[in-house]
Amino acid sequence: MGYKILAKKEICPNQYELTVEAPYVVRNAQAGQFIIFRAEENGERVPLTIADVNKDTGALTIVFMAVGYSTKKLAQFETGDEIPDIVGPLGKPTEIKNYGTVVCLAGGYGAAPCYLIAKAFKEAGNKVYMVMGARNKNLIFWSDKMKMACDELFITTDDGTLGEKGFVTDVLKRLMEKEKIDYAIAVGPMPMMRAVANMTRDKGIYTEASMNPIMVDGTGMCGACRLTVDGKVKFACVDGPDFDAHKIDFDEVINRTSIYKDFEKKRDENCNLLKKGE
């Protein structure tokens, strides 16, 4: 028995939102955690951060970009179809408490997990700013949901087609100059999270980065999500995915992920050849 898809929506070009019936996953799910899915019985294990949950109905929402073999396969599913396997919730949840003033920074598809995180911080009594950034307006999604999850929403685009032209760090700099920020969390591309960490370090603002983008099999067995935090080896999928951003060796992570991107491209090419029987 699989996990029935209740709704499917293409929210951005090649980026999809799936709502799935998964009451046993939703029951214990918390902000910052992830699930692992398999698009077919003998398929690869792929981790995806939990984007939203409905505790009353048991509905789980995931957001993904169809870039590899398995996510492209998942994108072909329609409402009423069943995903063969979903495991979760996995990973350590984001530590939610009343810090005071919180800034959530979401880059690209990083906006999806930031929704639950911002919502949880607001419910804990924090003043929450959300800053969403993307290359252009076509890549911004869930802005209405984000407005409900935070006290004030800012949108930036590289080309200025929506919100203000610039980057999430431009807004962060302005907020830090305007008032005292007690906590920041960044979810998105590695260069963006590194830039956020560099900005908040001198200000003494406790900052976390979600390292979910580097996870591959979600169990710690493959080693792809290995990183160095405060001089110690950690694994994003079992020790995180959230870590103190000021203690992460971002240069090491960025160098390693560039190698894995080349590997993943070759892997997907081989998978396609096998499916064709070549």
Which amino acid is located at 96 in the chain? I
What is residue 198's predicted lDDT score, i.e. its pLDDT?
A: 94
pTM for this model (two decimals): 0.86
What is residue 58's predicted lDDT score, i.e. its pLDDT?
A: 94
Contacts of 17 (CB under 8 A, 6+ apart): 7, 8, 9, 10, 11, 51, 61, 62, 63, 141
User: Where do the CATH 2.40.30.10 domains begin and end in the chain?
Assistant: 3-90
Which residues of the chain fall below pLDDT 70? 1, 214, 217-220, 258-278
What is residue 136's predicted lDDT score, i.e. its pLDDT?
A: 92
What is residue 276's predicted lDDT score, i.e. its pLDDT?
A: 58
Alpha carbons 42 and 84: distance in angstroms, whole number: 10
pLDDT in tens, 66-101: 888 888 998 999 999 999 999 989 989 999 999 999
226, with CB counted inside 10 A (0-12, 13-18, 19+), is: middle
**Can you identify the CATH homologous superfamily of domain 3-90?**
Translation factors (2.40.30.10)
CATH number of 101-250: 3.40.50.80
Alpha carbons 90 and 268: distance in angstroms, whole number: 25
User: Where do the CATH 3.40.50.80 domains begin and end in the chain?
Assistant: 101-250
What is residue 193's predicted lDDT score, i.e. its pLDDT?
A: 92
